[in-house]
Each structure stands twice: as C-alpha cells, then as structure tokens.
Copies of this chain bind each other. A is one copy, B any other.
Amino acid sequence: MNSKKILITGGLGFIGSSLARRLVGLGHEVTLVDSLIPLYGGNLFNVDDIKDSVRINVSDVRDPHSFPRLLEGQDWMFNLAGQTSHLDSMTDPFTDLDINAKAQLSILESCRKINPKVRIVFASTRQIYGKPQYLPVDENHPLIPVDVNGINKLAGEHYHLLYHRVYGLKTVVLRLTNTYGPGMRVKDARQTFLGIWIKNLVEGKPLQIFGDGLQLRDFNFVDDVVDAMLNAINSELAVGKIYNLGGPERIGLKELAETMVSVFGTGKCELIPFPPDRKAIDIGDYYSDFSRITNDLGWRPSVTLKDGLGKSLSYYKQHLGKYL
C-alpha cells in the first residue's frame, strides 16, 4: 500500500488514537486534530506510544483558519470529532448542536472548497435510530432519535451524504454501536456505562445496573471498528453509503456486568432503579444488522467480547490513573 496523508478529527480520542496507531504501523503520514475539550474523549496519553510518529495539532475543527490548512493535501480524512454524551446533550443542547452539526458543516465546507478529492469516513452512531421498532436494526430502520445528541448526529450524517450527492465528495457513513477497548473514557458515565464499570471494577467498587439489566446490546472492540474504517475508506463501492457496525454477541447488561466480573476475577454487581433522566432517553433493547457491510466490504468483527473485555480490563488495571 502506498503511504497516504491522513487527517483524523478527534484524533486524540478513544477510536481516533487506536486508528492512528494502526495507520502509523502501516506506514502512513498521520495528522491528529483534537480540541482537547475537557470532559470529551481527547487524551494525550492515548498516543503516548506513537507521539513521535504522528503530527498532533490541538485546535478546534470549527476554527475557519487552522482547519483548512490541516486539510490541505490530505488523501483521507476520518471524521471522528464529536460530542458523544446523550445526557449532556439534554442539559446543554446548544454545545451539542455546535459540535455535532455546525462543526460538521464547517468541515464539509472546507473539504468542498479546499480539498474536494479527500476521501472521508464519518463516524455516526446507532443513537440516531432511537428506540428500535424491530430487531436487529438495519440501515432502513426509521430514524427517530430519543435525545438531542441523536438529532444533531443525524444532521451531521445527512450533511455528509448531501455533500456527496451535490458536490461529489467521497464520503462514507459508519453507524457505530457501543465501542469499547483501551483508550475509552472511563472517568464517568458521560459516554457509556461500560467505561464507568471498568473504572469501578479496577477501583473495587460495585457495578451499578439500571432497571432489571435485561436490556440487550451489541458491542464492538475498537480494533474491529478500526478494521471497518479502513475497509470503508478504501472502497469505491462504499462511497455515498451508510453502513451499520455491530457485534454478533448480543448480551443483557446484567449478564455483561457479570461477565466483566468473571473476566476480571473479582467484583460485584448491583441492580438500582433507573434514574429519571436516563429513563427518559433509554431505548430498551438494541442490536444491529450489519450484513450490508459484511456483504459489500467483507467486514465482520473478529474479537470476542470475552477477549475484548480482558484486554480492556488489563489496560485499565495498568493505566487507570491516566484516565481520571
């Protein structure tokens, strides 16, 4: 493979940094742009091992001066910058709008003006489907987001597809499900309950499960998501398309917590009532049909939940302090 010039927005975040590590290993020239906004996912420790092999640019993708400069001459862009907390989007909807909708428009405007040939993968989310009307959820499922975050991410996704149709930008949309692995935020439950469970396990605290814990979910280990992104960015067939990611193992949250305890070797779980602000935006069971990306791009996850959880837990056993 020829060496490519690659930009990753949100590049110091969980998925962005994992992707960067892979791309550096493949010999590419990688630039990471990240605003390092506190409480978001950006963390310099995520790239500690590759910091001399990547270019790190701390700036906001909404900056109309710096971003076009960073975009110039890039072959590929992985557009992963975003506000990902569902709860924060309800308490501060304007910031969520600004980052998940306005910033995306701003990025795409820069692309069409400065670098219309750049290939783009946009990280969208299963959140835009809302409460499943049927399972597994495929890409044709109605889009009825249950929180402001879902609505704004949906707008961001639409912009990407529109700029493909109208301006010919080579965009691909991936709708991620719950992604986990080394580098994820574990400080609080802002992004996912799985993060706080990892932290609590390592700190010897109980894992709290809302409700009866029977809600089903699917998960992707971050390395599998990185695979999907590489498949997508390289494919002509994928351009202008939307693909679900998803995991073959569907598991209830209570069973997941118990699996984590068993993999970690110690710990305990407790069921607690749903906090009202969580209940209002809860979606019940969710798992996705990812057959479209399997058929088109040959992608399927290869890391089992048990293996992925094992890797994640041993990472945080060693490095938890860097994520608090």
Q: What is A's interface to B at a CB cutoff of 8 Å?
A: 90, 93-94, 97, 101-102, 105-106, 109, 140, 142-148, 151-152, 154-155, 158-159, 161-162, 165-166, 280-281
Contact = CB atoms under 8 A, between A and B. Distances in A.
Given A146-B165, A154-B154, 20 more contacts: A93-B109, A94-B102, A94-B105, A94-B106, A101-B101, A101-B155, A105-B148, A144-B158, A145-B158, A145-B162, A146-B162, A146-B166, A147-B166, A148-B159, A151-B162, A152-B155, A154-B155, A154-B158, A155-B155, A166-B281
The majority secondary structure among interface residues of chain A is helix
Counted per complex, copies of this chain come to 2
Given A147-B162, A159-B148, A166-B280, A101 B97 contact: yes
Contacts of A140: 142
A151 B143 CA distance: 13
23 contacts: A90-B166, A93-B109, A94-B105, A97-B101, A97-B102, A101-B101, A105-B148, A143-B143, A144-B161, A146-B165, A146-B166, A147-B166, A148-B159, A148-B162, A151-B158, A151-B159, A151-B162, A152-B155, A154-B154, A154-B155, A154-B158, A166-B280, A166-B281
